[in-house]
Structure 1
Amino acid sequence: MNSYQTLSAYYDRFTDDVGYEQWAEFFVALFAREGVEPKLVLDLACGTGSLTRLLAQRGYDMIGVDASPEMLMQAMQNTFDCEPRPLFLNQRMEQLDLYGTVDVCLCCLDSVNYVTEPAVLQKAFDRVHLFLEPKTGLFVFDINTPEKFARIDGNSYVREDEDVFCVWQAAVEDGLCAYQFDIFERDGDAWTRAQETHEERIYTIPELIAMLEKAGFSEIKTYGDQSFSPVQGGEDRVYITARKRD
């Protein structure tokens, strides 16, 4: 269950190595490369709003959508000083329902992998296509590759901060990667323990391209991790862009 009920309070503390500034700069360069000048940008599966905030600071009107109310509470706190304030909506990807169209939809940090049912992901792509601006709309997302899942299978990882200790394990089986999180937090002289399990599905690029085409997207491109180089194979993360050319 990918609820983030427990992890939401610690997420930013344990992802301080993500490099959101580099992500934001990459997307600005990507917009220029694709010839789009977006005014309204959707951050789909926005999490705690770290990227939403950085793009808002660069002048984009932002909408953040996430299925986790706990993550959205963090996002609202993280963007309280943005002007204009981003609009946040508590929605699942496959139930995306906006008030109008957006110029660009971003879906980052392997959020697509978190949609573990292919039929549900197809519905999500359909909804993104529906709410993108006709003729110019751009959809951008990244995935964890099958190669990455093979590399982390069976491994354990540790992150720690002051008075908080997190250990997580990855296990791949039947096309799914399960992450078991154990979070320990100091409470006076004792420690409290919380557990949470997340799952990601392993998708191949051809599978995703077929889904995008079925949703009506065209001009589908793939890039290596935060680069404009062709996918060589072996990358941990790749980016996919698609256009709405209705």
Structure 2
Amino acid sequence: MSYERFAYLYDELMQDVPYEKWVEILEAYKEKFQVNGMKLLDLACGTGELSVRLAQKGYDVTGADLSGDMLSVAQVKAQDLSLPIHFFQQDMTELEDLGEFDMIGIFCDSLNYLEDENAVRKTFEGVHRLLKKGGLFIFDIHSVYKMDHIFADATFTWDAEEITYIWNSFKGDAPHSVEHELTFFVLDEKSGKYDRVDELHFQRTYPVSIYMDLVKQTGFENIEVTGDYSLKEPESTSERLFFAMIKP
């Protein structure tokens, strides 16, 4: 999957995303699990929106993402705000030595972009290796319910002066997977005409039991699962699930 021009449209399209909710959940689990350090890896950081917010709250943030275009946007944000965030281009399934961290987060359903269970397992193993003893790992994913009943065979649209999109989602070949077919029409300010941008994104999720087995096999403990930013147990119709755990 390539983000290319999508990277530069991303923030415009994500204006209504409640990033503060991810920050609140991270801080709630940091306190609950008594994590004292402030060194954090924002894995699959995208355009750095959460990296910046966390750095502004005093966290020592490192961001990593597969997309160089996304990282370019993130770096400009950090520089504009004089925030000392280090960004690295890395595949989260093949993490290199970035140091040790008190906390690692994979936010905004980024884990759902991995192709299969083996890729998820490899990511968890890399996270476990980079976390300090007693460190916090937190990630969120789309639920099976959302994949099968909200996304599958659905169409979403958005119309603004500078960007319009048509977003079609289709059931993928793998269980609990979808293919997002996005078409954007983006205003070129110089010509006054609209450019068309097409993107195809794949996402896949698994039942909670599969994620639980994978993190336990990797060596994590004290695993908690909550639904829809609530810090409460998920319901059958919860659309976003959060997992938080400790490296013993």
What TM-score does the superposition give when structure 1 sets the normalisation length?
0.94
Q: How many residue pairs get matched?
A: 243
> Identical aligned pairs, as a percentage?
30
Moved over 3 A (4+): 81-84
Letter in 2 for 1:142: D
Cα distance, 1:83 vs structure 2: 4.8
Between the aligned partners of 2:14 and 2:199, the Cα distance in structure 1 is: 16
| Residue identity in the other structure for 1:184 | F
In 2, the alpha carbon distance for the partners of 1:83 and 1:164 equals: 29
Give the one of 231, 234, 241 matched to 1:228.
231
Question: 1:31 maps to which residue?
Answer: 30
Give the SS at the match of 2:111.
coil
The CA distance in 2 between the partners of 1:216 and 1:30, in whole Å, is: 19
Residue aligning to 1:181? 182
Query: Are the equivalent residues in 1 in contact too, given 2:180–2:202 (CA < 8 A)?
Result: yes
State the distance in 1 between where 2:242 and 2:227 align: 6
The answer to whether the Cα contact below 8 Å between 1:167 and 1:181 also exists between their aligned partners in 2 is yes
In structure 2, runs of 5+ residues without a counterpart are none
Could you tell me whether the CA contact under 8 Å between 2:22 and 2:107 is conserved in 1? no
Q: Does the CA contact (< 8 Å) of 2:52 and 2:83 recur in 1?
A: no
Q: Which residue type is aligned with residue 178 of structure 2?
A: C
Aligned counterpart, 1:144 = 142
Query: Deviations along 1:151-187, whole A, 9 cap, x unmatched?
Result: 2211111123332211111111332210001111233
Give SS of 1:126's match.
helix
Query: Does 2:90 correspond to 1:71?
Result: no
Structure 1 portions without partners, runs of 5+:
none
Distance, in Å, in 2 between the alignment partners of 1:153 and 1:65 is: 30
Kindly indicate whether the alpha-carbon contact (under 8 Å) linking 2:140 and 2:240 is maintained by their aligned counterparts in 1: yes
Q: Are the aligned partners of 1:56 and 1:82 in contact in 2 as well (CA < 8 Å)?
A: no
8 A Cα contact 2:33 2:246, kept in partner: no
Residue 189 of structure 1: CA displacement?
4.6
Partner of 2:154: 155
SS in 2 for 1:56: helix
User: Residue 94 of structure 2 aligns to which amino acid in structure 1?
Assistant: Q
Please report how far the alpha carbon of residue 84 of structure 1 lies from its aligned counterpart in structure 2 after TM superposition. 4.5
Q: Distance in 2 between matches of 1:192 and 1:84?
A: 33
Name the amino acid aligned to 2:144. P
Report the Cα offset of residue 76 of structure 1: 0.7
Query: Can you list the C-alpha shifts for 1:40-91, whole angstroms capped at 9, x where unaligned?
Result: 0010100111110010000000000100000001111111144541110000
Question: In 1, are the aligned partners of 2:45 and 2:65 still within 8 Å (CA)?
Answer: yes
Aligned match for 1:209, one of 197, 207, 212:
212
Is contact 1:169-1:180 (8 Å) kept?
yes
- TM-score, normalisation: structure 2: 0.93
User: For 1:81 and 1:30, how far apart are their aligned partners in 2?
Assistant: 30
Q: Which residue of 1 aligns with 2:46?
A: 47
Asked whether the equivalents of residues 14 and 160 of structure 1 are also in contact (C-alpha less than 8 Å), the reply is: no
Query: Secondary structure at the residue paired with 1:113?
Result: helix
- The answer to whether the 8 A contact 2:106-2:140 is kept is yes
